[in-house]
Amino acid sequence: MWKQVSFLLLFVTATCAADAQQELPQKMRGWWSNSASGHSNTVEVELVRMDSPSLATVKVVWWPYCRWAETSAEFQEGAWVFSPQRCANNSGPMTITARVKPMEGKKRMEGIYNDDAARTLYLSWE
């Protein structure tokens, strides 16, 4: 009985820790990729300020579509979600919404953008 209770407590604790919010690093750099179109390029995210434990203001550079965009980042369901504004491609304005989760034990976040599994995003920091 004790082993089952201990295992259950350990499982719940580990699950909560994995979903626990992590404060954003000062600077992150990474790569976006769209496997459907074959396009990819760099992404830079810089923390401007932490507005609360689950809300931050960040500066995003999403090459080549967003040269500089300040936006909010919110911690939702175990991931940081942000949507840089003033992005455009040859067709005109475009919307980008990124959702990245911290990777436990690594200085890295991974996720997708625009709710499409073919559109991946990787960010890391020192």
What is the 3-class SS of the chain, one letter each residue?
CHHHHHHHHHHHHHHHHHHCCCCCCCEEEEEEEECCCCEEEEEEEEEEEEEECCEEEEEEEECCCEEEEEEEEEEECCEEEECCCCEEECCEEECCCEEEEECCCCCEEEEEECCEEEEEEEEECC
Domain boundaries along the sequence of the chain: 22-124
Confidence of residue 8 (pLDDT cuts 50, 70, 90): very low
pLDDT at residue 96 tops 70: yes
Q: Looking at residues 24-29, what average pLDDT do you find?
A: 96
Q: Which CATH architecture has domain 22-124?
A: Beta Barrel (2.40)
pLDDT value of position 86 = 85
**pTM reported for the whole predicted model:** 0.80
Indicate the length of the chain as a whole number: 126
Q: Looking at residues 89-115, what average pLDDT do you find?
A: 94
How far is 113 from 34, CA to CA, in rounded Å? 9
Mean pLDDT of the chain: 85
pLDDT value of position 21 = 61
Q: Looking at residues 82-93, what average pLDDT do you find?
A: 90
Q: Assign residue 60 a region: left if phi > 0, alpha if psi is -120 to 50, beta otherwise?
A: beta
pLDDT at residue 1 tops 80: no
Name the amino acid, one letter, at 93. P
pLDDT value of position 84 = 92
> Which is more confidently placed, 86 or 6?
86
Report, in angstroms and rounded to the nearest whole number, the Rg of the chain calculated over CA atoms: 17
